[in-house]
Structures are given as C-alpha cells and as structure tokens.
C-alpha cells in the first residue's frame, strides 16, 4: 500500500517530469510519458565523461529501448567546449544515432534553467566517467536532492556517499589492467546489467523500495555535501575562528 508521503512524491515527480517533457517536445517534437522511468545524462560535455557509454553495445541498447515490460526514456544534455573536437563529435554522433527513437532525446542550451529542469524531472541520474578522472560531480548531489537516484561509477564524490541499493545504484568498474577499449566494453555491460536487472525492476515492481532509495539519497547528501556544511568547515577549521 502506497503511503501518504510516497504518493505525494510520485505526484510531484510527475508534475516536474511534465515540465521537463515540455522542453523535450519543444526542442525535438517527441512526446515523453510521465509514467515511464526517465534516465538523464547531463553535465559538462567532455570525452572522459563518456556520454555514449550506453551505446557501446548497440544491439543491447536497442533491446533496452524496445523493452515493453520495463520501458525507459533517456535524455542527454550538455555543453562541449567549442575547441574540444572530440567531445563535439560525440555530441553530434548521439544526436544522429537517437533521432529515430521516440524515447530518446538530446537537449541543447544547457544552462542553469535547463539543468534545473533535468535534475527535477529525472528518475535516474547517470554518471559514468572513466575511473579516476572525475574530480567531484556536484550535479549528482543536486539531482539526489531533487528526488533522482544516482546510477554511477564509484568515482568523484560517490565513494563518500554511496551505499549500493540503499541510496543509489553502483556500476562496477572494470579491472585496472584492461585497455581503455576493454574497460568501456566491460563497464557498458555492467551498466546495462544494473539497469536491466535492478534499476528498472525496482522502479516498476517495487515502488516503495524506490521511494526509500530516493529518501536515503536525500538524507545522505544533505549533511555532508550541502553548502552550509562546507562554509561551517571553512569557518571553524580553515580560518580557526573562535565562537
């Protein structure tokens, strides 16, 4: 039985998804469904962040998008530096490759307004950089505060926060001894396994469990990763002010 707080959360999340999906429709003409799990990859567009990792196994990607029992919608957004030729190529490649899919969209104009819409409207916030390249990852913190669950490689801030299956979902990293091509292949497989076997079934079949993970994510972020805690630490530890 759905509790009162859980029902309120579901209703509010649908409202926020609707606002995001208006932007999807305006930019792409595609009509997304508020009842479908929506995964978002959105951040500074750099090659090491691997926006295209989901597509590494194209056949498996197509099967994921066509799943009728556990449907999914995917949104990419970001802004590559104009001089970053590789990142721009990846961005344009994703746009071209997902055009035909009604449940995939790439949004442009990644500024504060769109960033806010994406974090509020996401069910899952995907973070899959190359291991040991991510300095922090503040977008995941704010996404969690807005009721999105992090699905992430254990890099950046994530190891300080993550309890797999309780406040987020983790993607197992590949062995360090592998080549980067082999790592991409292995971590794509691990990502797809988590999506297919854990994330999607939890969302559709165990909504109360999903709500618990959302709540735990919010509680896990606020005490350690919000600006008030940071300012207090600077005040008391760095500048050594006495009360």
Contact criterion met (CB below 8 Å) for 64 and 196: yes
pLDDT at 168: 97
pLDDT in tens, the chain (243 residues): 568 899 999 999 999 999 999 999 999 999 999 999 999 999 988 889 999 999 999 999 999 999 999 999 999 999 888 888 888 899 999 999 999 999 999 999 999 999 999 999 999 999 999 998 888 778 888 999 999 999 999 998 898 899 999 999 999 999 999 999 999 999 999 999 999 999 999 999 999 999 999 999 999 988 776 777 778 878 888 886 555
For the record, the structure tokens of 30 come out as 């595609």
Q: Does domain 4-238 have CATH number 3.40.50.2000?
A: yes
pLDDT at 243: 53
Query: How many Å apart are CA 79 and CA 87, to the nearest integer?
Result: 9
Domain ranges of the chain: 4-238
pLDDT at 241: 55
Residue 164's DSSP bridge partners are 168
Number of other residues whose CB lies within 10 A of the CB of residue 15: 12
């Amino acid at each position: 039985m759905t509790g009162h707080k859980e029902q309120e959360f579901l209703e509010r999340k649908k409202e926020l998804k609707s606002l995001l999906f208006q932007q999807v429709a305006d930019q792409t003409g595609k009509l997304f469904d508020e009842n479908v799990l929506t995964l978002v990859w959105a951040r500074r567009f750099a090659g090491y962040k691997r926006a295209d990792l989901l597509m590494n196994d194209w056949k498996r990607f197509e099967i994921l998008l066509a799943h009728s029992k556990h449907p999914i919608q995917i949104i990419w957004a970001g802004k590559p530096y104009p001089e970053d030729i590789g990142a721009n190529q990846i961005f344009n490649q994703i746009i071209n490759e997902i055009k035909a899919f009604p449940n995939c969209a790439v949004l442009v104009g990644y500024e504060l307004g769109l960033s806010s819409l994406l974090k509020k409207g996401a069910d899952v916030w995907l973070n899959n950089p190359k291991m040991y390249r991510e300095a922090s990852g503040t977008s995941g913190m704010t996404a969690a505060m807005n009721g999105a669950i992090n699905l992430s490689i254990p890099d950046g801030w994530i190891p300080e926060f993550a309890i797999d299956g309780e406040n987020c979902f983790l993607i197992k990293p590949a062995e360090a001894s592998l080549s980067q091509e082999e790592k991409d292949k292995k971590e794509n497989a691990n990502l797809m396994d988590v999506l297919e076997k854990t994330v999607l079934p939890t969302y559709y079949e165990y909504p109360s469990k999903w709500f618990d993970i959302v709540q735990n994510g919010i509680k896990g972020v606020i005490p350690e990763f919000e600006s008030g805690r940071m300012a207090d630490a600077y005040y008391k530890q760095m500048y050594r002010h006495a009360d």
